[in-house]
Amino acid sequence: MSDTKITQRLLLRLREERETGLKGGIYHRTQIDMAYNSNHIEGSRLTHEQTRYIFETNTIGVTEEAVNVDDVIETSNHFRCMDYIITNAEEPLTEEFVKHLHSLLKAGTSDSDKSWFAVGEYKRLPNEVGGVETSLPEDVAQDMSALLSDYRSLQEKDLESVLNFHWRFELIHPFQDGNGRVGRLVMFKECLANGIIPFIITDELKMFYYRGLREWPRIKDYLTDTCLTAQDDYRDSLAYFRV
């Protein structure tokens, strides 16, 4: 079966399992694994088990160690972000779409109470990623518009197209915080939209993923191979759940 057919079946299954509330299927696993790994890469201290518990019960349960409230809120919010991209996978990628993801992710966090932190809007203060300077606040709207225009102009989008978009997005770093998680959500959506087997960057792949982003202009194989490894892992899940 072609990747396009598999991806179409996956999207249908994700939607069906979400709507019926099926437990223990591919939707269930994807939600937990995506939220745990993407948040953990960004510093969340919640365990995989705690993430699963939040998804299944909407509570944190009893823990021996103090739990960061923002970690809990952003985990719960991440589940809503995944639902949003599953529902709207085929929709065009726009500035409004990306901003809405950020708004969903950061809603109700301590950041949302800060006057200088613009939830669902582009950053107001300069930031950097991995010691690399990113787009200045006054340039973000123009840079994002150009990125999205270039991406939408592609007649066909393959894995390299999605990864190149992700690299440019992270170099712009349009939001004050949450860029990595929003960027990885967008990658998952665009894979679903374009017949590409999606993937989850795990915490174990984090350093290879960072190296791949850093070296993308020079050696594309680093990021490509990392994402292909993650894709193989997700293929195993699809095979197990008979997607």
Per-residue pLDDT of the chain (243 residues; tens, 9 = 90+): 899 999 999 999 999 999 999 999 999 999 999 999 999 999 999 999 999 999 999 888 766 678 899 999 999 999 999 999 999 999 999 999 999 999 999 999 999 999 899 999 999 999 999 889 999 999 999 999 999 999 999 999 999 999 999 999 999 999 999 999 999 999 999 999 999 999 999 999 999 999 999 999 999 999 999 999 999 999 999 999 999
Give the chain as a DSSP string: --HHHHHHHHHHHHHHHHHHT-SSSHHHHHHHHHHHHHHHHTT----HHHHHHHHHHSS----SS---HHHHHHHHHHHHHHHHHHHTTTSPP-HHHHHHHHHHHHTTSGGGG-TT--TTS--SS--EETTEE---HHHHHHHHHHHHHHHHT-SS--HHHHHHHHHHHHHH--SSS-HHHHHHHHHHHHHHHTT-------GGGHHHHHHHHHHTTT-HHHHHHHHHHHHHHHHHHHHHTT-
3-240, superfamily in CATH? Answer: Fido-like domain (1.10.3290.10)
d(CA 235, CA 198): 9
Distance CA 215, CA 199 (A): 20
Domain boundaries, the chain: 3-240
